[in-house]
Amino acid sequence: MTTKHILLLHGDGIGPEVVGEAKRVLEWCGTAAGMSFVFDEALIGGSAYDAVGTPYPAETLEKAKKADAILLGAVGGPKWESLEYAKRPERGLLGIRKDLDLFANLRPAMCFAALADASSLKPEIISGLDILIVRELTGDIYFGQPRGVSVENGHRVGRNTMIYADWEVTRIGRVALDLARARGKKLCSVDKANVLETTEMWREEVQKLRDAEYKDIELSHMYVDNAAMQLVRAPKQFDVMVTGNIFGDILSDCAAMLTGSLGMLPSASLGAEINGKRAALYEPVHGSAPDIAGKGVANPIATILSVSMMLRYSFGLNAQADLVDAAVANVLESGLRTGDIMQTGAKKVGTREMGDAILTALQNLAANTKVA
């Protein structure tokens, strides 16, 4: 029996609750697929700081390097906001992304039919929506040097550097073009080439790559301000979008709302494939939601859909991933809702009940689709 090692990083706020439900789904899928999933845990974020004085303990990186896949809840919270920069929960997340070279962040935004009315946009604008944002995750202004706040001529000056090398653009461009090839063969690259030279170079490199190796893909370019506007005006015009770290951060929150709630969006952060293995971290796009933490009301669906991405991208278990996606759709069809996606006439449930319902739906689906 194949064994896979999965590292759970619960993190802060609602992290432990949503990861708890996602783990149950993973366990079920492992058994169904005849694979043995072995779980380990490590600290990250504010809870790591509280326990051992750093948001990113060395042991966490060690365990992360050895794991076949990582599932992370969320990090952050007001409790740690006034800490010095290096001690803040976010440093743990940014550290692990950088150290494992998880440069390709896949953020699909799909609108489940049952939730078409839950979005703040009109149902006809978002029903059937299925787009994929590919965000570069280890470069850009997030990591560029120089950075920091200093005193210059008696004034405090803050500085961050937007920087990309051509090879960084090409490697994320290639991921996005490959994904576009497997989907609708349309890629929109988002930049601010009218103002920022870095992103003008980005535009040229993506175009060059497409012309050299991906002539079958229809490539367009869009300025980020327009892209934000188009995402809320007519999101279905997009198939795959590719962009840098900071623009991708902003646009993916925007895209999340199209699906009804930030509580619905999964993500995968992937590294390069080395000797048949690729580092991979899966996490919901939402944050730690400190206001509802520990109350058992958080929506676990984004984390459960992140598990589906793990099954697909790390373990090649496409059939199980399809089952998880279908189970989520069925539960939503049946009218169960956590508070964030509550609609009139629906039944409000908590985190655990939503997890239970998805597990039951999985069992029913598996029983019905079993082939002799």
Closest separation between CB of residue 226 and Mg ion, Å? Answer: 20
With vertex at residue 318, the alpha carbon angle to CA 314 and CA 323, rounded to the nearest 5 degrees, is 120
Per CB under 6 A, 191 contacts ligand IPM: no
Residue number, 239 or 249, with CB nearest to Mg ion: 249
Of the listed pieces 88-96, 168-176, 189-197, 304-312, which binds ligand IPM according to CB under 6 A?
A: 88-96
Cα angle at 357 between 282 and 30, to 5 degrees?
A: 45
Q: Which is nearer to ligand IPM, 255 or 349 (CB)?
A: 255
Any catalytic annotation for residue 117? no
- Contact stretch for ligand IPM (CB under 6 A) within 90-98, 256-264, 345-353, 355-363: 90-98
Q: Is 325 a catalytic residue?
A: no
Find, among 51, 55, 53, 50, the residue nearest to 72 by Cα. 55
214 given a catalytic annotation: no
- Report if residue 93 touches ligand IPM, rule: CB under 6 A: yes
Strand pairing report for 36-41 and 3-11: parallel
Q: What share of the chain is helix, strand, coil (3-state, %, to 5)?
A: 50, 20, 30
Cα Rg of the chain, angstroms: 20
Using CB under 5 A as the binding rule, whether residue 249 contacts Mg ion is answered as yes
Chain centre to alpha carbon of residue 198: 25
DSSP for 184-222, please give it.
Answer: TSEEEEEE-TTT-HHHHHHHHHHHHHHHHH-TTSEEEEE
- Whether 253 is a known active-site residue: answer yes
- Using CB under 6 A as the binding rule, whether residue 90 contacts ligand IPM is answered as yes
Q: How far is the CB of 286 from Mg ion (least distance, A)?
A: 9
Choosing from 225, 291, 347, 348, the catalytic residue is: 225
Site residues (vs Mg ion, CB under 5 A): 249
Active-site positions read 142, 192, 225, 249, 253
Site residues (vs ligand IPM, CB under 6 A): 76, 90, 93-94, 249
